Amino acid sequence: MLLMRGAWLIVIVVGLFVLSLVFGLQLFPRLGAGQKVLDGGRHLFRDDLVVAQRNASDAVNLVVDGLDPIVTAEGGAAAEVPQLITFVSEQTELSEAEVLEALQENFPHTTALLLAIPLEEVSAELPDLIDFLAQILNLTPEQVSETLEANFPGLARSIAALPAITDGWSSLETGLTDVNEQPLLGVPGIAEYLDTRIVEVTERQRSNFQDLDALVNLNALPWLLFGIGVLVVVFGGLMFVVTGRIMRS
């Protein structure tokens, strides 16, 4: 009987150990926070939204890859424009000036774009353009900007945004890093981060997240362990008392 009473004492200790784990590991707030993460992140890992995120990332990268050659001189397209004109001239009996004139006559918008490359040079001209308009209109540069915003809002937004885009296109310090913790700079860096550090993660972890989310409500786990601990302590204590009374009798 003494041995049995010792066994029930061990049961009580086990129950107290379970309770100590519940409170010592702070399972109530931690698993509660974990459930909030699951609830808040569920929409990110839905099958259809993971596919949509990939489509959106591909669209962003398509835009960035398309603009990268023309935004800065380092992009390469600016050096290719004269080469294109020379190539056409060599394949025809037209001089380079005649080729350019033909392009301007038949494809004015395309030609204007080719001559504007790189766009960072357009950005460099914008302050001078504002000053020029201010002089001929007898206004201050600030008044010119206000006039453009009031009457030509699309142009005004482009004039305001283009320098910010071209100035930081390749060198903007974003604070983002790649998978090797190397800095990702500029707009291409942002596109790469979206692709490799967000979308690839959701694609890779989608099934794991869904399996965890479907397993159990994390809020229930600490209550379950707490209930088991209390039950073990109460039952073990009761049997410890009963065996003690039997021994005394």
Alpha helices in 178-218 (DSSP H): 186-193, 200-215
pLDDT 10s digits, 107-166 = 999 999 999 999 999 999 999 999 999 999 999 999 999 999 999 999 999 999 999 999
Q: Is the pLDDT of residue 24 over 70?
A: yes
pLDDT 10s digits, 192-233 = 999 999 999 999 999 999 999 988 889 999 999 999 999 999
Confidence of residue 7 (pLDDT cuts 50, 70, 90): confident
The token pair at 171 is: 């060198």
Q: What's the pLDDT at 92?
A: 92
Give me the residues paired with residue 183 across strands: 177
Q: What's the pLDDT at 47?
A: 95
Confidence of residue 2 (pLDDT cuts 50, 70, 90): low
Q: Is the pLDDT of residue 8 over 80?
A: yes
The token pair at 44 is: 């990110």
Q: How many CA atoms lie within 13 A of 79 on its CB side?
A: 6
Helix (H) or strand (E) holding 174: strand 173-177
Domain locations in the chain?
Answer: 73-117
* 232 backbone dihedrals φ, ψ, rounded to 5°: -65, -45
Average pLDDT value for the chain = 93
Q: If DSSP states are collapsed to H, E and C, what string results for 50-110?
A: HHHHHHHHHHHHHHHHHHHHHHCHHHCHHHHHHHHHHHHHHHCCCCHHHHHHHHHHHCHHH
- The rounded distance, in Å, linking the Cα atoms of 129 and 33 is 55
**Average of pLDDT values for 169-178?**
94
Helix (H) or strand (E) holding 175: strand 173-177
pLDDT 10s digits, 30-74 = 999 999 999 999 999 999 999 999 999 999 999 999 999 999 999
Comparing C-alpha atoms, which of 165, 164, 137, 162 is closest to residue 151? 137
- The rounded distance, in Å, linking the Cα atoms of 96 and 138 is 40
- The rounded distance, in Å, linking the Cα atoms of 238 and 243 is 9
Q: What's the pLDDT at 1?
A: 63
Q: What's the pLDDT at 42?
A: 92
Q: What's the pLDDT at 168?
A: 93
- The rounded distance, in Å, linking the Cα atoms of 59 and 215 is 35
Q: Is the pLDDT of residue 246 over 90?
A: no
